[in-house]
Amino acid sequence: MTAIIYPTTNFKHIEQLNIVRGEGIYVYDDKGNQYLEGLAGLWCSALGYGNKELIEAITAQLHTLSYSHMFGGRTHQVGMDLAMRLAELVPIEKAHCFFANSGSEANDSHIKMLHYYFNAIGKPAKKKIIALQRSYHGVTMAAAALTGLPANHTHFDIPIEALGILRADSPHYYRGHLPGESEADFVARLLANLEQLILREGPDSIAAYIAEPISGASGVIVAPDGYFAGVQRLLQRYDILFWSDEVICGFGRTGNDFGATTMGIQPQLMSLAKQLSSAYIPISAAIIPGQLYEAMIDASNAVGVFGHGYTYSGHPVACAAALKTLEIFAREKLFDHAAAMGEYLHQELGKFRDHPLVGEVRGRGLIAAVELVADKQTGAAFADGRVGAFATRACLANGLSLRAVAGNSMAFCPPLIITRAQIDEMIGKFSQALDATLNFVHTEKLLNRTA
């Protein structure tokens, strides 16, 4: 045991797997075992491990300028170049970028900038933010308030009400629909509930609505057709900003440049991280439109400073890593590759729909989930997360690194560079792990009788 306080870990079960190196889409532990990295680390290692071109770009930047801050008018070219490149890529008018180090920090920064902006334009009451049930937007104090998962709130006294965070229904049809309710009726009900929430709270008090185009840690939830289009109409009607959390979905994960493109969303705010640098160096960005930035200029001048920023905001090495990553994405046409490989992945995962444990297979592009259920006929969930935990261990035993999310949904999110042959390998390893999990479920008598 070391002195580390481990993140998102049961402190009674630490240091179970020691990863010592990675190559391509594989990682290796201290015993020499190989694992196919089926979750791209934590949804982030788009280019896999050991990309020499990216390592050389990072090394060159270390030799040139290993660090410089961005406070008080100071800047550097690699940071300006990255901001301009992102402004060209995102679907936001006159986009401006605030750089941070993680998705959580980007989302925290968005909350602060929203407060700053609405104070600057004389609408100090317009501060509330609508987030979804079962959402995930990070774990810093404010980002955790946006997150809608109990484990990220319990014991932490997260200031959800103080920050004005409101909850809307999760658009997960499989888990949320009423008996006999069609997808269209489900969408209509959720949109009606959302409008009621807006009217009850008062549109003039609500700044933004935040959602991942396709969720990650909350279960890889894909909203039904028509949901986001309906949300967008409501937000436009009531002058509320659409905030797309692209921390996982951005940069090819869903088979397009951004998850917003895949799901037909036209956001005013975006959060970027993870695949922005293929996780080689921590970096994130909070993207706002020109009208928000311009409204804050005079306000910052009146104070003498825009009083927000991090020591490592726009770290030159991180910016160099991100620029090279974006260059590789474009040159290798990896978003198109992810779309093609994603189609094949979903074809192969779809073959598990008849498995006795599988309730739903869902996702888009190279992000997916296979939800394990206690009753295939009714979709009833297991009482706790033991089955997902066992399945995770069974995958590791078969040389596959996956993760159970939202209880018992096995998440897939391989590096964008994965090939068809490697998808076949991943599917084969998962199949063995799934059969071992079924044996565990039978032994523990965890299936409902109707299954």
For residue 68, give the 3-state DSSP assignment: coil
- Which parts of the chain have pLDDT scores under 50? 451
Residues 290 and 364 in one domain: no
Shared domain check, 357 and 326: no
Residue 194 backbone phi and psi in degrees, to 5 = -65, -45
Same domain flag for 355 and 373: yes
Q: Which amino acid is at 320?
A: A
Report the CATH number that the domain containing residue 388 is assigned in CATH. Answer: 3.90.1150.10
Do the beta carbons of residue 85 and residue 323 sit within 8 Å?
Answer: yes
SS3 287: strand
Q: What angle do CA 378, 381, 383 make, to 5 degrees?
A: 135
Is residue 283 domain-shared with residue 337, that is, in the same domain? no
For the chain, what percent of residues have pLDDT higher than 70? 99
pTM of the model: 0.96
Domain membership flag for residue 49: no
141 and 161 fall within a common domain: yes
Distances (CA, A) of 272 to 72, 105, 137, 293: 24, 10, 11, 18
Is 396 within a domain?
Answer: yes
Q: Which alpha helices (H) appear in 385-419, and where do they start and end? A: 386-397
Classify each residue of 330-351 as buried b or exposed e, where b means 16 or more C-beta atoms within 10 Å of its C-beta. eeeebbebbbebbebbbebbee
Residue keyed to tokens 């079924």: 438
Final residue of a domain: which of 331, 354, 372? Answer: 331
Give the three-class secondary structure for 400. Answer: strand
> The CATH number of the domain where 308 resides is what?
3.40.640.10
Q: Are the beta carbons of 49 and 27 closer than 8 angstroms?
A: yes
In a domain, 347, yes or no: yes
Residue 327 and residue 360 share a domain:
no
Residues paired with residue 361 on neighbouring β-strands, in sequence order: 370
CA–CA separation, 144 and 126 (whole Å): 20
Closest CA to 152 of 106, 217, 210: 217
Residues 324 and 344 in one domain: no
CA nearest 188: which of 163, 241, 133, 225?
225
pLDDT at 449: 63
User: Two tokens at 52?
Assistant: 């020499």
Establish if 254 belongs to a structural domain.
yes
What is the distance between the alpha carbons of residues 247 and 9, in angstroms, rounded to a whole number? 21
> CA-to-CA distance for 170 and 147, rounded, in angstroms?
12
Same domain, 320 and 370: no
The domain boundary, picked from 331, 347, 378, lies at 331
Fill in the DSSP letter of residue 382: P
Give DSSP secondary structure letters for 189-247.
HHHHHHHHHHHHH-GGGEEEEEE-SB-STTT--BPPTTHHHHHHHHHHHTT-EEEEE-T
- Residue 451: inside a domain: no
Q: Do 293 and 393 belong together in one domain?
A: no
Q: 300 is written with which tokens?
A: 């910052």
Q: Are 91 and 264 in contact (CB under 8 A)?
A: no
> In Å, how far are 63, 169, 216, 327 from 227, measured between CA atoms?
49, 11, 18, 33
Looking at the 3D structure of the chain, how many domains does it have?
2
Task: Report whether 4 contacts 369 (CB < 8 A).
Answer: no
Same domain, 126 and 206: yes
Look up residue 394 and give its amino acid.
A
In a domain, 22, yes or no: no
Name the residue range of residue 220's domain: 54-331
Q: 56-93, pLDDT tens digit by residue?
A: 999 999 999 999 999 999 999 999 999 999 999 999 99
Percent of the chain that is helix, strand, coil (3-state, to 5): 40, 15, 40
Strand partners, 19: 29
Q: Establish if 402 belongs to a structural domain.
A: yes
String of b and e for 134-164 (b: at least 16 CB within 10 Å)? Answer: bbbbbbbebbbbbbbbeebeeeeebebeebb
Domain contains 135? yes
How far apart (Å, rounded) are the C-alpha atoms in residues 34 and 14?
A: 20
Q: Fill in the DSSP letter of residue 354.
A: G
Give me the sign of the Cα torsion angle 379, 380, 385, 387. negative
Residues 162 and 198 placed together within one structural domain of the fold:
yes
Residues 313 and 415 in one domain: no
